[in-house]
Amino acid sequence: MGRIIHSYARAWGWVITRSSGVQVTLSGVDHIDRDRPYILMANHQGAYDIFALLAYLPVDFKWLAKAGLFKIPIFGWAMGAAGYISIDRKGKKKALESIEIAVAKIRGGASVLVFPEGTRSPDGEIHPFKRGGFTLAIKAGAPIVPISIRGSREVLPRSSLRVKPGKIEIVVGKPIPTDNKSMADREGLMQEVRAAIESTFAR
């Protein structure tokens, strides 16, 4: 059922991008082996990132999303039915439980998409990463795929509900292995992923 609902979400994202006059270009997708699971990590420029990634990333993935989103009527139910993963940052125990659920899904063959900044950038810059996604990657032993997004902040500014026609560029980087990493390597892994995202974002 989760795969079916995610396919509907992809169609929804495609309709929204096309109907709002937004052009999305995707490059680097050949770096992804569609038969294996990944931790997909993207910078978070704005709310429109969600539609662009849903519509154009050719991967059946689960979102790692804030617990509050799952409380929204209908929308929250659909997220749960799609197998998306709720993460509650208010308590360490609940956050760890969410990570274990995500680890199980990854080991079962699912990819997970994470915004390592944790929230939308207020100024267009890439802000400090949170550790949760990297803890997840190391525990699951899944490669991290760095993804940079440009243009979505201009299409839908943080202070506006009005979508402006424009261009969004999504660049998929080479997977970064984690199967030989431990928690002692987490900070270095964060820096490596950040550098990979920044290099294509700046370009």
pLDDT band, very low/low/confident/very high, at 202 (cuts 50, 70, 90) = confident
Structure tokens at 13: 């994202």
Sheet holding 144-150, edge to edge: 22-27, 166-172, 144-150, 39-42, 111-114, 61-66, 85-87
Q: What is the pTM of this model?
A: 0.89
Q: Has residue 90 got a pLDDT over 90?
A: no
Segment 123-158, tens digit of pLDDT: 889 999 999 899 999 999 999 999 999 999 999 988
**Range 179-187 average pLDDT:** 94
pLDDT at 22: 93
What are residue 22's DSSP bridge partners? 166
pLDDT band, very low/low/confident/very high, at 89 (cuts 50, 70, 90) = low
- Domains of the chain, with CATH numbers? 2-202 (3.40.1130.10)
Mean per-residue pLDDT over the chain, rounded: 89
